[in-house]
Amino acid sequence: MDFVGKRKFFFMLSAIIILVGIVSMAIQPRFQVGIEFEGGSALSITFAEAIDEARIREVMAELDHPQAVVQRVGETGVLIRTRTLQSPMTEADVSERENIEDRLQLEFGAIETSELSAVSEVVAKETIRNAGIAVGVASVFIMLYISFAFRLMPNSMRLGAAAIIAGIHDVLITLGLFSILGKVIDLEVNAMFITGILTVVGYSVHDTIVVFDRIRENTARRISRDFATTINVSIMETLGRSLTTSITTLTVILALLLMGGGTIQSLLFTLLIGVIVGTYSSIGIASQLLLVWEQRGWLPFRRSTPTEATTRG
């Protein structure tokens, strides 16, 4: 199969998907944001008897807290994160906290301990900032590492740059799809999403390095004077390994989604999208960028001269 010959299709497909995602992110609400990013309340409760995590989510939805994140702690404990709980307007009124606790006591019996804390919006913004810094620093180190690992190849810095561009491509598509899914199925962007994004970047680069390593081997073996042929052969030789890894990973992710995984739903959806896009980008984006860079030097109207092409081959 001629993957290299279809590079314009790959670039066009990615451009369309990214553009649709950008349009979605331009429309309010851009994302369905979890309380980690907009502030709220965290209610930690310990019951005398074992609890049912799924039933607690149902109760919270019935109490007008459908966005609540419920996390089981041991057999009898639960951490509920939701929007800011309102205090009573008068002494005769019942607070939202008391209303939740009373309802949960009816469902699960006596409450041994209960503690309410606030999730600050400032902390949420700090989380986003730190995540951005983490992605940026990781990208720099990844590019430097790949450039060093492939230092025996001409213009090894291009391989590092191509891998990072492919990673950014994967992140943009994931963000766009999350924006769309947030409007369609209320899929939240939360702390688990940030964890997933960092994992997606790592997975994407790993898959890309596998292809790049085969390109290096085939270049050293001089299987062809044509760099495009070398890239295409390398993709074909690593395709089975990439697909096998992706399919087995997707099987586990889908199993977790079907089993429930409510507290890590954002992480699972991020990984689901990221694994698919990461596999695609290592074949249709990263490797193709190397060829485009080699032939045109990133200048749209600059084509390699016959002498240059012969030297590179």
Q: Which stretches within 150-286 are classed as H helix?
A: 156-185, 191-221, 227-259, 265-281
pLDDT band of residue 200 (cuts 50, 70, 90) is confident
- 20 with 112, same domain: the answer is no
pLDDT at 16: 96
In this structure, of 31-35, 36-40, 63-67, 123-127, the range with the lowest mean pLDDT score is 123-127
Average pLDDT over residues 224-251: 90
- Looking at residue 264, the DSSP 8-state letter turns out to be G
Q: Which domain holds residue 99?
A: 40-119
What distances in angstroms separate CA 270 from CA 184, 229, 267, one per listed residue? 16, 34, 5
* Listed residue (72, 67, 156, 77) closest to 113, CA to CA: 77
Q: Which span out of 65-74, 150-159, 236-245 was modeled with the highest average pLDDT?
A: 236-245
pLDDT at 66: 81
Count of domains for the chain: 2
pLDDT at 312: 42
pLDDT at 276: 94
Beta strands 188-189; 32-33: pairing state: parallel
- 25 with 50, same domain: the answer is no
Tokens at 15, concatenated: 């451009």
Average pLDDT over residues 244-271: 86
Task: CATH number of the domain at 218, please.
Answer: 1.20.1640.10
Give the phi and the psi of residue 224 in degrees, each rounded to 5.
-160, 150
State the average pLDDT for the chain: 83
Q: Are 231 and 284 in contact (CB under 8 A)?
A: no
- 255 with 303, same domain: the answer is yes
- 109 with 75, same domain: the answer is yes
Tell me which of 101, 119, 137 is where a domain ends. 119
pLDDT in tens, 100-151: 988 888 888 888 888 887 766 666 677 777 877 877 888 888 888 888 888 8
Q: Are 195 and 135 in contact (CB under 8 A)?
A: no
- Looking at residue 89, the DSSP 8-state letter turns out to be S
- 283 with 303, same domain: the answer is yes
Using the CB atoms, write b or e for 232-262: b if 16+ within 10 Å.
Answer: bbbbeebbeebeebbeebeeebeebeeeebe
Calpha distance 244→275 (Å, rounded)? 12
Q: Is the pLDDT reported for residue 90 higher than 80?
A: no
- 147 with 217, same domain: the answer is yes
Quick count: other Cβ atoms within 10 Å of Cβ 197? 23
- 15 with 47, same domain: the answer is no
Q: Are 114 and 74 in contact (CB under 8 A)?
A: no
Q: Which span out of 55-59, 126-130, 270-274 was modeled with the highest average pLDDT?
A: 270-274
Task: CATH number of the domain at 72, please.
Answer: 3.30.70.260
